[in-house]
Structure 1
Amino acid sequence: MGWIEFALALIVFMASHRVPAMAGLKARLERALGRRGYVIVFSLVSTLLLFWVIFAAGRAPFVPLWDQAGWQRWAVNIVMPLVIALMVFGTAAANPFAFEGRTDGFDPDRPGIAGLTRQPLLWALALWSGAHLLANGDLAHLILFGLFLGFSLAGMAIVERRRRAGMGTEAWDRAARRTGLLPFAAMVSGRWQPRSLPSLVRLAIWVLSWAALWRLHLPVIGVWPGP
């Protein structure tokens, strides 16, 4: 039953990200809830389904593939603050390139989080899954985190292509001139430099989210996150 639940959870999670758009449900929900309302509802449902997939992977039969090393746990703890930062500063930010961003209020000369990367939430998912893939050497978690890693990397290409087609090449080029897909690429190339301090509210949410994740990881997930 463990493998059946795990497979079902994965299928439902993946379908929730493909079926609404293919069936026209996404457009109808956006008209009914508004763009922001749809993003909020979609994010909540996705989070609940993600927890189900994680719990189902933990309940699947344990098939060891490699032993866990100390450096792998350190890698997770080094990456996770960046993952949380990308989520906190990317969600509902002025960023017309990402599905979690707002289309209003974007300034191409001061692109904010889009200057760091145009796809902060998908990079957060890729870093989270890649780091946890290293630290979990069993079959169920290899499937789980490997799929999420592939899903997030493929998602970047899909979202970029759709947003470019929707905006038009010229408008995209003007809006994206100080941004980059790879994190820090625009900064390294000199096309973007941060010109203002991050929002204090988002900074507080970042710190509190990291502290909550650290504190609740053992009682909720069942694994102590420390090295």
Structure 2
Amino acid sequence: MALFLTGLIIFFGAHLFTGLMRAPRAAIISKVGEMPYKGLYSLVSIAGFVLIIMGWKTADASVIYTTPYWLRHVTHLLMLIAFILLTAAYIPAGKIAAGAKHPMLAGVKIWAFAHLLVNGELRSIILFGSFLAYAVIDRIAVKKRGETGRAAGPVINDVIAVVVGGAAFAAVAFYGHKYIAGVALF
């Protein structure tokens, strides 16, 4: 469990430092440059992520709660929405991205919440709860900084977000989830 928790602390520590500690972040960037900072941030984040993965198998999998089977259907619908939002974050803005203001954070919140609906073992609660808490904290920080998101672009950007996000959801749900998480969904 220690390796798993250490990974979470490193991963989210790096992310929270970047999102919340703007003055120290700016000071580091002014000293080392933007690209070296991004490289270091990426390396620290990857190290934390690797520790999370390595610690997962030995983390406490005690079942805290079980949920009714029908919640899996709700989770699948929420995951489709999360994939569309995640896609909208990385393409030119449409109405989806503008409406969500910060589609990446909205997608992460929905992804984490959806997984908490159907994963009641301790390590899953810690993992997905950490992602949900991080996304909420970062969204509050972004709002306090006055970042309002992107202006809405043409509807074709929404069509692209729905098609690509839907295809990515289908690929993960019907094929990739068993390789990513070790659990086949269908």
Taking structure 2 as the reference length, the TM-score comes to 0.75
How far the C-alpha of 1:64 sits from its partner, in A, is 1.1
Please tell me the root mean square deviation across aligned C-alpha atoms, in Å: 3.6
The aligned residue for residue 14 of structure 1 is 12
Q: Is the 8 A contact 1:57 1:141 kept in 2?
A: no
SS at match of 1:197: helix
* 1:14 alignment partner AA: F
Q: Is the 8 A contact 1:90 1:121 kept in 2?
A: yes
In structure 1, distance between residues paired with 2:32 and 2:69: 46
Q: 1:205 aligns with which of 164, 182, 186?
A: 164
1:219–1:115 CA distance, 2 compared to 1 (3 A): closer
The aligned residue for residue 105 of structure 1 is none
More helix by proportion, 1 or 2?
2
**Is 1:119 the counterpart of 2:121 in the alignment?**
no
How far the C-alpha of 1:210 sits from its partner, in A, is 1.7
Q: Residue deviations 1:8-61, cap 9 Å, x none?
A: 110111112133464437735995449xxx5x9968975785575366335412
Q: Residue deviations 1:166-203, cap 9 Å, x none?
A: xxxxxx7xx98xx8xxxxxxxxxxxx9x8623366555
Q: Which runs of no fewer than 5 residues in structure 2 stay unpaired?
A: none
In structure 2, distance between residues paired with 1:199 and 1:207: 12
How far the C-alpha of 1:67 sits from its partner, in A, is 1.9
Higher relative contact order (CA 8 A, sep 6+): 2
Q: Is the 8 A contact 2:71 2:117 kept in 1?
A: yes
Taking structure 1 as the reference length, the TM-score comes to 0.63
In structure 1, distance between residues paired with 2:91 and 2:45: 16
Q: Is the 8 A contact 1:57 1:140 kept in 2?
A: yes
Question: What is the aligned length?
Answer: 181
In structure 1, distance between residues paired with 2:17 and 2:74: 35
1:33–1:134 CA distance, 2 compared to 1 (3 A): same
Counterpart mapping for 1:39-54 below 5 A: 49-50=48-49, 53=52
Larger-Rg structure:
1
Counterpart mapping for 1:71-150 below 5 A: 71-94=70-93, 112-150=95-133
The aligned residue for residue 25 of structure 2 is 24
Q: Which runs of no fewer than 5 residues in structure 1 stay unpaired?
A: 95-110, 165-171, 180-191
In structure 2, distance between residues paired with 1:116 and 1:30: 36
In structure 2, distance between residues paired with 1:223 and 1:54: 15
